[in-house]
Amino acid sequence: MTSQRSCKVVIVSPALADANNGNWQTARRWQRLLSGTHSARITREWPGEFVGNAGGQNAADDEVMLALHARRSAPSIAAWAAARGSQSLAVVLTGTDLYRDIATDASAQCSLELAGQLVVLQAMGTQALPAALRHKARVVFQSTSVRQTLAKTPHHLRAVMVGHLRAEKDPLTLMAAAQTVPANAGICIDHVGAPLEAALGQAAQATAQTCPHYRWLGAQPHEATRRRIQRAHVLVHTSAMEGGAHVIMEAVCSGTPVLASRIDGNVGLLGADYAGYFDPGNAAQLSDLLCQARATQHQPDGLLAQLTAQCALRAPLFAPQAERQALLNLVDTLRG
């Protein structure tokens, strides 16, 4: 049970609205979820100018810090710890923190030591932490709105992948799978994402030219992308590194099952016993799963039906009220 006394929270995000990436979306959603109980401002650095309406709150008012990204927010984390101590400081760990930076980067490692609480965004995240620090860790699942499950066309199977084209998302595995799927298999693949790495954009263009059943759609507005996820039979998520992909939650909460690489960031969202995994980078396995989904598309006990049922059991984890309560509990712990 959380106390009702309002607390002034500062959320440090290395990316703000101009980037519109996962860090910013998390920061903005947390600011919104905390409102009504606490006031929260967002800043790129601490101390810094506030973003959004937080009643004119400034650095002198801040009582609790939620810092996104152990490495990129390290200067703010160190400044807070020096000025306010660790009790009121939580560090929120991204995929690159957990699965790259904390193993090699001194500033990220320092952030872990300074934090009073460590927050991971999926259930496997704590296992990536040094054993001596796991007692400080808690899981806060991100949330998304529920969308109506739409009727799917029976004439083909439509798969969609959503993610900007960069190495961590491993889009080449999707492209290789598309080249393996027979052209007459009745499988259509849509790929949404901006070419953050030029070579991957060129690879997507080349794949589209040789595989008529693969379409690279480039960057798309969020609302249009969510509608594509609703209409798809399955979401494909090929990431090599992931802290907890929001797009997986959007699919699950739209009644669209997922085919995902078996990495901790995905297993921590979908569960260890989920039937829709393929080995990271294994295009042949992904192609086989797509073909199996198509072959059993109309069977009540087929792969799609099995995955849909498993996703439905996970959906309550990603409810906004669950995330809000986890945040309120976190703030209550931080302020002591």
Q: What is the CATH number of the domain that holds 165?
A: 3.40.50.2000
pLDDT for 25 equals 86
In which band, very low, low, confident or very high, does the pLDDT at 59 lie, cut at 50, 70 and 90? confident
- Which amino acid is it at 240? A
| 147 within a domain of the structure (yes/no) | no
| 149 within a domain of the structure (yes/no) | no
pLDDT digit string (tens) for 21-37? 677 889 999 999 999 89
Q: Cα–Cα distance between 193 and 166 in angstroms, integer?
A: 9
| Adjacent-strand bridge partners of 10 | 41, 65
| 3 within a domain of the structure (yes/no) | no
pLDDT for 20 equals 61
Instruction: Check whether 3 has a pLDDT greater than 60.
Output: no
Note whether 117 and 65 are same-domain residues: yes
Total domain count, the chain: 2
Q: What percent of the chain has pLDDT over 70?
A: 94
Q: How far are the Cα atoms of 33, 177, 202, 309 from residue 144, in angstroms, in the given order? A: 12, 29, 32, 19
Asked if residues 89 and 334 have their Cβ atoms less than 8 Å apart, the reply is yes
| 108 within a domain of the structure (yes/no) | yes
| 79 within a domain of the structure (yes/no) | yes
Higher pLDDT: 268 or 2? It is 268
Instruction: Check whether 134 has a pLDDT greater than 80.
Output: yes
Note whether 94 and 118 are same-domain residues: yes
Asked if residues 260 and 237 have their Cβ atoms less than 8 Å apart, the reply is yes
In which band, very low, low, confident or very high, does the pLDDT at 66 lie, cut at 50, 70 and 90? very high
In which band, very low, low, confident or very high, does the pLDDT at 1 lie, cut at 50, 70 and 90? very low
pLDDT digit string (tens) for 147-189? 999 989 999 999 999 999 999 999 999 999 999 999 999 999 9
- Phi, psi of 291, rounded to the nearest 5 degrees: -70, -40
Instruction: Check whether 96 has a pLDDT greater than 50.
Output: yes
| 121 within a domain of the structure (yes/no) | yes
Note whether 163 and 272 are same-domain residues: yes
Q: Cα–Cα distance between 39 and 64 in angstroms, integer?
A: 11
- When pLDDT is averaged across residues 209-232 and rounded to a whole number, the result is 96
> What is the chain's mean pLDDT, rounded?
93
Q: What percent of the chain has pLDDT over 90?
A: 88
> How much is the pTM?
0.90
pLDDT for 23 equals 79
Asked if residues 27 and 327 have their Cβ atoms less than 8 Å apart, the reply is no
Note whether 69 and 98 are same-domain residues: yes
